[in-house]
Amino acid sequence: MTLIVQKFGGTSVADTKKILAAARKAVRARQDGNQVVVVVSAMGHNTDHLIELAHEIADEPPAREMDMLLSTGEQVSGALMAMAIHSLGHEAISLTGAQIGIRTDSTHTKARIKSISTDRMRRALDQGRIVIAAGFQGIDEEFNITTLGRGGSDTTAVALAAVLGADVCEIYTDVDGVYTTDPRILPEARHMARISYDEMLELASLGAAVMHNRSIEFAKKFSVPIHVRSSFSDTVGTLIATEPEAPDHPVAGAALVKSEARVTVLGVPDRPGTSYAVFSKIAAQLIPIDMIVQNVGADGRADISFTVDKADLAKTLAAVAEAVQQLGAEGFTHDENVSKVSVVGLGMARQTGVARRMFRALSMAGVNLQMISTSEIKISVLVSGAEAQTALRTVHQAFHLEQAPASAVAFDPRQIARTRDGEDALAIVSRLQQMEDLTIDDIELDETQARLSINGVPDRPGIAAAVFDEISQAGIFVDMIVQSIGREGRANLSFTIPQSHYAQGLKLLDDLAQRMDCGPITSSPKIAKLSVSGIGMRSHAGVAIRTFECLAQAGINVEMINTSEVRVNVGVDGQRGPDALASLQRAFAENQR
């Protein structure tokens, strides 16, 4: 018998009428002959209200008690949902995370799932009941209630679908699918028929809050097809699965994170271990680091820029001040009014000129790029908060995201097929002691690239666009691009190109630097690029730090770095590639699959 997991978000269970409407959807799926598991969020803004109550009492309420409090929201909607299904003449049973046996670690308010027991759910399903699971919660070894982090009911739903071997996980929400960008920010956003796991994973962590990013990690790891659709209609939504909507299209979607803060550590001595020294201090404060960009300066000193959530800025600056003193760096700057705009697409990995198109459009719109970080399938730029919406609209237009690609493959919900059956998934689960463990797929070494850097770039719109216009017209394929703010507000822009184009690229850049009043050019004819790829790369913030740590221990200097949801890329001294590969392989041995 087919098994469907249906998840209803906060707005979809905001009042009893909506709960009854959701119950009807569950009953209909049951009547169609499916076994049905329903995962519920707290009603409406209940979680927000509970948080407000806690903060009326204490600035920093104990995390354990926060979880006791927050988990009640989902228990309320679960019980009401079960009652609603009963009232429609069907059998249902509501269960809390603890009653199901969702075991997590003890990191209160952002716990990770360790294991899920299927026994109780299976028994109820076999008795013909609809199982209602409270989303977003579990218990730790000591039977303390834990929660999975804001938006975590998506993760509960996909995790249950994974362990039960469900045929599909339906996410019912207040939009009728995934759009090319948040339709609340840009009304011209387009409804997508499908999107790949990798693209959704990147978009979710780059600001597209329609799905909790960790739910996509589960979906990818266990091949769970997700159907995101509206609670308020029966229209077909968006399929999240392995394949993208239009494989030949460079960009699938765009996203915005409004409230970031940028920190730049200036003039860091360019020797092994310095990045590690900075980031380990911040990690010790449990602050998640977002965009990391580093590049070497002309004087053998490096500038390291990164972003954190605005709320974490004060603590971050304290940690950075310590690191600066310890390292003998020149100082640090920060900006608390910046936003990150990103484009994501599987297709850009195989096409040239995608970054150039984005930079050109932003330059025409007069938007200044403070930081740039690209990886295989995403390009992120940091812009001032005031320019955020313009920047998002500009890139959305530049890639014609409002129009459906001619090659778009439609989605027919009757043809959803799981590529992996339930037993297989369970076998994987037992292999992974902790279901949300970091999984490294591959560590690659690319020794074909050279690095070019242009220093002292004036802080005004259009420089990156000019550089990549010329590079691209010369037919040179650009791989990694990083730009960060440096000293005196001037930026450093570094990128990698094939070694065969090194001399040509260098000459081009030299001419350009003279015309554009930029500082000196630095370069390496050979740089070794290492890519650590897998699942959980950013949500396990330690990956970048472990990369820095192991390279520091091996005495290998990091020249360039960029991170994404599925990859950490570092550029190191061209002679040290094999050593770097060996030490990374040792460092991540236990996470390799």
Question: Site residues (CB under 6 A) for ligand ADP?
Answer: 9-12, 41, 151, 173-175, 178-179, 181-184, 208-210, 253
Go through 71-102 and write b for each residue having 16 or more CB atoms within 10 A of its CB, e for each that does not.
bbbbbbbbebbbbbbeebebebbbbbbbbbbb
Strand order in the sheet with 145-147: 113-116, 102-104, 137-139, 145-147
Q: Tell me how far, at minimum, the Cβ of 259 lies from Mg ion, in Å.
A: 18
Dihedral angle at the C-alpha atoms of 558, 559, 565, 566, nearest 10 degrees?
Answer: -80
Among 19, 134, 136, 266, binds ligand ASP (CB under 6 A): 136
- The residue among 72 and 523 lying less far from ligand ASP, judged by its C-beta, is 72
Residue 42 binds ligand ASP, judged by CB under 6 A: yes
Query: What's the CA gap between 178 and 552, in Å, rounded?
Result: 41
Q: Residue 103: exposed, middle, or buried by beta-carbon count in 10 A (0-12, 13-18, 19+)?
A: buried
Q: Under rule CB under 6 A, how many of the chain's residues touch ligand ASP?
A: 13
- The residue among 231 and 591 lying less far from Mg ion, judged by its C-beta, is 231
- Residues in the chain, how many? 593
Tokens of 405: 């690609």
Query: What's the CA gap between 6 and 164, in Å, rounded?
Result: 13
Tokens of 383: 């812009």
Q: Tell me how far, at minimum, the Cβ of 9 lies from ligand ASP, in Å.
A: 6
Residue 219 binds ligand ASP, judged by CB under 6 A: no
Q: Tell me how far, at minimum, the Cβ of 300 lies from ligand ADP, in Å.
A: 43
Q: Tell me how far, at minimum, the Cβ of 462 lies from ligand ADP, in Å.
A: 29
- The residue among 152 and 272 lying less far from ligand ADP, judged by its C-beta, is 152
- The residue among 9 and 486 lying less far from Mg ion, judged by its C-beta, is 9
Among 41, 307, 339, 569, binds ligand ASP (CB under 6 A): 41
Give the one entry of Mg ion, ligand ADP, ligand ASP, none that residue 208 binds, where binding means its C-beta sits below a cut-off of 5 to 8 angstroms depending on kind: ligand ADP
- The residue among 195 and 454 lying less far from Mg ion, judged by its C-beta, is 195
| Stretch near Mg ion under the rule CB under 5 A, chosen from 3-11, 80-88, 129-137, 354-362 | 3-11
Among 6, 8, 10, 100, binds ligand ASP (CB under 6 A): 10
Residue 151 binds Mg ion, judged by CB under 5 A: yes
- Write phi, then psi, for 347 (nearest 5 degrees): -65, -25
Tokens of 335: 């900006």
- The residue among 9 and 244 lying less far from ligand ADP, judged by its C-beta, is 9
Measured between alpha carbons, how far is residue 393 from residues 182, 188, 353 in Å?
11, 9, 19
Name the nearest CA neighbour of 205 among 357, 360, 377: 377
Q: Tell me how far, at minimum, the Cβ of 51 lies from ligand ADP, in Å.
A: 15
Q: Tell me how far, at minimum, the Cβ of 7 lies from ligand ASP, in Å.
A: 8
Residue 73 binds ligand ASP, judged by CB under 6 A: yes
Give the pairing of strands 35-40 and 92-95: unpaired
- Write phi, then psi, for 7 (nearest 5 degrees): -115, 130
Name the nearest CA neighbour of 369 among 396, 389, 353, 388: 388
Give the one entry of ligand ASP, ligand ADP, Mg ion, none that residue 181 binds, where binding means its C-beta sits below a cut-off of 5 to 8 angstroms depending on kind: ligand ADP
Q: Tell me how far, at minimum, the Cβ of 479 lies from ligand ADP, in Å.
A: 27
Q: Tell me how far, at minimum, the Cβ of 221 lies from ligand ADP, in Å.
A: 21
Q: Tell me how far, at minimum, the Cβ of 183 lies from ligand ADP, in Å.
A: 6
Question: Helical H runs in 109-256?
Answer: 119-126, 153-164, 197-205, 213-221
Q: Tell me how far, at minimum, the Cβ of 353 lies from Mg ion, in Å.
A: 35
Give the one entry of ligand ADP, Mg ion, ligand ASP, none that residue 468 binds, where binding means its C-beta sits below a cut-off of 5 to 8 angstroms depending on kind: none
Kindly identify the residues of this chain, within the stretch 9-28, that bind Mg ion according to CB under 5 A.
Answer: 9
Go through 450-471 and write b for each residue having 16 or more CB atoms within 10 A of its CB, e for each that does not.
bbbbbbbbeeebbbbbbbbbbb
| Stretch near ligand ASP under the rule CB under 6 A, chosen from 41-49, 377-385, 453-461, 557-565 | 41-49
Query: What's the CA gap between 243 and 255, in Å, rounded?
Result: 20
Residue 135 binds ligand ASP, judged by CB under 6 A: yes
Q: Is the dihedral of CA 106, 109, 112, 117 positive or negative?
A: positive
Angle at 168 between CA 166 and CA 171, to 5 degrees: 120
Q: Tell me how far, at minimum, the Cβ of 180 lies from ligand ASP, in Å.
A: 23
Quickly count: other Cβ atoms within 10 Å of residue 119's Cβ. Answer: 9
Kindly identify the residues of this chain, within the stretch 138-157, that bind ligand ASP according to CB under 6 A.
Answer: 150-154
- The residue among 205 and 280 lying less far from ligand ADP, judged by its C-beta, is 205
Give the pairing of strands 168-173 and 226-230: parallel
Give the one entry of ligand ASP, ligand ADP, Mg ion, none that residue 184 binds, where binding means its C-beta sits below a cut-off of 5 to 8 angstroms depending on kind: ligand ADP
- The residue among 8 and 179 lying less far from ligand ASP, judged by its C-beta, is 8
Q: Residue 587: exposed, middle, or buried by beta-carbon count in 10 A (0-12, 13-18, 19+)?
A: buried
- Residues near ligand ASP (CB under 6 A): 9-10, 41-42, 47, 73, 135-136, 150-154
- Residues near Mg ion (CB under 5 A): 9, 151
